[in-house]
Chains A and B, each alone.
Chain A
Amino acid sequence: MLFAAEMYGVQFDHLAAVLGASEARARATAARWRARGHAETARLGPGGPWTWLTRAGLTACGLPYAAVPPALSRLAHIRAVAAVRLALESAPGYSAGGGYWRSERRLRARLGGRIGLREHIPDGEVHWPDDAPVPWAGECWAIEAELTPKTAGRTTAIMRELLTRTGDYGGPAAEARAPGPPRHVRVIYLCSPAARSTVTRAREALGEAGARIEIRHLPPGAAMPSPVRATR
Chain B
Amino acid sequence: MIRRAGLRLLRIAVATALVVAAAPVSLVAAIGAGLAWLGGWPPARLYRAALWCLPMLVVWLAATAVATRSAAQVAAGPYLAWLAMWHRGAAGDWPGAAAVIAPAAIPVGLAAGGLAWAYRIRSLRTGSGGLGPDSAVAFDRRQWRHQARSARARIAAPGAVPLTVRGGRVVVGAVIRTVGHPHRQIASIPYARMRSHQVVVGSTGTGKTTLLLRLWAGFMATALRRHAAGQGRAPLLVVLDCKGGADARRIADRAQRVLRLAGARSTAIWPDQAALSLWALPPAQLTTTLVDLIEHGTGGAAYYADVLEAVVELAVAAPGGPPAGAADFLARLDPGWLATAYSSGGHEAELGLLRSAARQVGDIALRYRTLLRRLGHGLDGGGGFGDADAWYCILEGTAEISVAEAQARALVDLLASFAVRDGGREILLAVDEFSAVSRRLPIWVLYERARSLGLAVQVSAQSWAGLAADEDERHRITSSADGGIWLLRTPHPEPVAALAGTRPLTDTARRLIGIPVWRHRGSSRMRPAPVTDPELIRGLDVGQAAYLYRGGVTYIQVKRLVAAPAALPAPGRPRPAEQTSTAATARLSAGTAAGVPGPARSGPRLPDVSALLDEAFGTEPAP
Is B265 part of the contact surface with A, judged by Cβ < 8 Å?
yes
Contact of B577 among A87, A100, A115, A139 (CB under 8 A): A100
> Which residue of the partner chain A has the closest CB to B596?
A179
Least CB distance from B219 to A in Å reads: 15
Contact of B606 among A67, A116, A211 (CB under 8 A): A211
Contact of B570 among A90, A140, A170, A218 (CB under 8 A): A170
Q: Is the CB of B617 within 8 A of A217?
A: yes
Q: Is the CB of A216 within 8 A of B581?
A: no
- Distance A183 CA – B564 CA, assembled complex (angstroms): 33
Q: Is the CB of B567 within 8 A of A65?
A: yes
Q: Is the CB of A102 within 8 A of B578?
A: yes
- Distance A194 CA – B206 CA, assembled complex (angstroms): 50
Q: Is the CB of A118 within 8 A of B607?
A: no
Interface residues of B in 572-595 (CB under 8 A from A): 574, 577-589, 592, 594-595
Q: Is the CB of B564 within 8 A of A67?
A: yes
Is A72 part of the contact surface with B, judged by Cβ < 8 Å?
yes
Q: Is the CB of A92 within 8 A of B615?
A: yes
0/1 per residue, B380-392, Cβ < 8 Å to A?
0011000110000
Least CB distance from B26 to A in Å reads: 47
Contact of B568 among A64, A74, A100, A165 (CB under 8 A): A64
Q: Is the CB of A113 within 8 A of B273?
A: yes
Contact of B387 among A102, A117, A186 (CB under 8 A): A117
Q: Among the listed stretches A16-24, A27-35, A130-138, A223-231, which one makes contact with chain B, having 4 or more residues with CB under 8 Å of it? A: A130-138
- Distance A137 CA – B382 CA, assembled complex (angstroms): 35
Contact of A111 among B261, B570, B580 (CB under 8 A): B570
When A138-B583, A139-B584, A212-B600 are in contact, do A186 and B260 touch as well, CB less than 8 Å?
Answer: no
- Distance A177 CA – B597 CA, assembled complex (angstroms): 7
0/1 per residue, B256-270, Cβ < 8 Å to A?
110011010111100
0/1 per residue, A112-129, Cβ < 8 Å to B?
111111100000000111
- Distance A205 CA – B601 CA, assembled complex (angstroms): 15
- Distance A219 CA – B613 CA, assembled complex (angstroms): 11
Least CB distance from A224 to B in Å reads: 13
Is B224 part of the contact surface with A, judged by Cβ < 8 Å?
yes
Is A214 part of the contact surface with B, judged by Cβ < 8 Å?
yes
Q: Is the CB of A55 within 8 A of B565?
A: yes
- Distance A60 CA – B587 CA, assembled complex (angstroms): 39
Is A15 part of the contact surface with B, judged by Cβ < 8 Å?
no
> Which residue of the partner chain B has the closest CB to A183?
B580
Is B228 part of the contact surface with A, judged by Cβ < 8 Å?
yes
- Distance A74 CA – B601 CA, assembled complex (angstroms): 36
- Distance A74 CA – B583 CA, assembled complex (angstroms): 36
Least CB distance from A45 to B in Å reads: 12
Is B566 part of the contact surface with A, judged by Cβ < 8 Å?
yes
In the complex, chain B residues whose CB is within 8 Å of the CB of A165: 597
* Chain B interface helix/strand/loop/mixed: loop
- Distance A189 CA – B611 CA, assembled complex (angstroms): 16
| Among A94, A110, A216: residue with most chain B CB under 10 A | A216
Q: Is the CB of A136 within 8 A of B595?
A: no
Least CB distance from B581 to A in Å reads: 4
Is B182 part of the contact surface with A, judged by Cβ < 8 Å?
no
Q: Is the CB of A117 within 8 A of B616?
A: no
- Distance A138 CA – B565 CA, assembled complex (angstroms): 37
Interface residues of B in 136-189 (CB under 8 A from A): none
In the complex, chain B residues whose CB is within 8 Å of the CB of A61: none
Q: Is the CB of A118 within 8 A of B577?
A: no
Least CB distance from B105 to A in Å reads: 39
> Which residue of the partner chain A has the closest CB to B567?
A66
When A114-B274, A208-B599 are in contact, do A130 and B583 touch as well, CB less than 8 Å?
Answer: yes
Is A174 part of the contact surface with B, judged by Cβ < 8 Å?
no
Q: Is the CB of A87 within 8 A of B617?
A: yes
Is A7 part of the contact surface with B, judged by Cβ < 8 Å?
no
Q: Is the CB of A209 within 8 A of B564?
A: no
- Distance A179 CA – B606 CA, assembled complex (angstroms): 20
Least CB distance from B603 to A in Å reads: 11
- Distance A175 CA – B477 CA, assembled complex (angstroms): 48
| Among B267, B600, B618: residue with most chain A CB under 10 A | B600
Is A155 part of the contact surface with B, judged by Cβ < 8 Å?
no
* Chain A interface helix/strand/loop/mixed: loop
Is A192 part of the contact surface with B, judged by Cβ < 8 Å?
no
The total of chain B residues at the interface (CB under 8 A) is 60
Least CB distance from B582 to A in Å reads: 6
In the complex, chain B residues whose CB is within 8 Å of the CB of A130: 581-583
Least CB distance from B571 to A in Å reads: 6
Is B71 part of the contact surface with A, judged by Cβ < 8 Å?
no
0/1 per residue, A43-66, Cβ < 8 Å to B?
000000000000100000000111
Least CB distance from A68 to B in Å reads: 4
Is A153 part of the contact surface with B, judged by Cβ < 8 Å?
no
In the complex, chain A residues whose CB is within 8 Å of the CB of B295: none
- Distance A30 CA – B152 CA, assembled complex (angstroms): 34
Is A190 part of the contact surface with B, judged by Cβ < 8 Å?
yes
0/1 per residue, B265-281, Cβ < 8 Å to A?
11110000110000000
Q: Is the CB of A182 within 8 A of B598?
A: yes
In the complex, chain A residues whose CB is within 8 Å of the CB of B388: 115, 117
> Which residue of the partner chain B has the closest CB to A139?
B584
Interface residues of A in 67-87 (CB under 8 A from B): 67-69, 71-74, 84, 87
Least CB distance from A50 to B in Å reads: 15
- Distance A178 CA – B597 CA, assembled complex (angstroms): 7
Is A181 part of the contact surface with B, judged by Cβ < 8 Å?
yes
Interface residues of A in 133-158 (CB under 8 A from B): 134-140
When A102-B578, A109-B567, A140-B581 are in contact, do A164 and B597 touch as well, CB less than 8 Å?
Answer: yes
In the complex, chain A residues whose CB is within 8 Å of the CB of B274: 114-115, 117
Is A195 part of the contact surface with B, judged by Cβ < 8 Å?
no
Least CB distance from A130 to B in Å reads: 5
Q: Is the CB of A71 within 8 A of B260?
A: yes
> Which residue of the partner chain B has the closest CB to A137?
B583
Q: Is the CB of B571 within 8 A of A64?
A: yes
Q: Is the CB of A179 within 8 A of B616?
A: no
Q: Is the CB of A180 within 8 A of B584?
A: no
In the complex, chain A residues whose CB is within 8 Å of the CB of B581: 127-130, 137-140
When A64-B569, A178-B597, A179-B597 are in contact, do A136 and B382 touch as well, CB less than 8 Å?
Answer: no
- Distance A170 CA – B388 CA, assembled complex (angstroms): 18
Least CB distance from A5 to B in Å reads: 13
In the complex, chain B residues whose CB is within 8 Å of the CB of A92: 615
Contact of B263 among A71, A102, A178 (CB under 8 A): A71
| Among B578, B584, B592, B615: residue with most chain A CB under 10 A | B584
In the complex, chain B residues whose CB is within 8 Å of the CB of A93: 611-612, 615-616
Q: Is the CB of A182 within 8 A of B599?
A: yes
- Distance A151 CA – B591 CA, assembled complex (angstroms): 30
Is B620 part of the contact surface with A, judged by Cβ < 8 Å?
yes
> Which residue of the partner chain A has the closest CB to B276?
A117
A interface residue numbers (CB < 8 A to B): 55, 64-69, 71-74, 84, 87-88, 90-94, 97, 100, 102, 109-118, 127-130, 134-140, 163-166, 168, 170, 177-183, 185-186, 188, 190, 206, 208-209, 211-212, 214, 216-219
Can you list 29 pairs linking A and B with CB atoms under 8 Å apart?
A: A64-B567, A71-B260, A73-B228, A88-B616, A93-B616, A110-B570, A114-B274, A115-B267, A115-B274, A118-B382, A127-B581, A128-B584, A129-B577, A130-B581, A135-B607, A140-B580, A168-B580, A170-B570, A179-B596, A181-B588, A182-B592, A185-B606, A188-B613, A190-B617, A209-B598, A211-B600, A212-B599, A214-B613, A219-B616
Give 3 nearest A-B pairs by CB, closest first. Answer: A138-B583, A209-B599, A135-B607
Beyond known contacts A136-B584, A138-B582, A212-B599: 19 more, CB 8 A cutoff: A64-B570, A65-B567, A66-B260, A73-B224, A88-B617, A91-B616, A114-B273, A114-B274, A117-B266, A118-B383, A129-B577, A137-B583, A179-B596, A182-B588, A182-B592, A214-B613, A216-B618, A217-B617, A217-B620
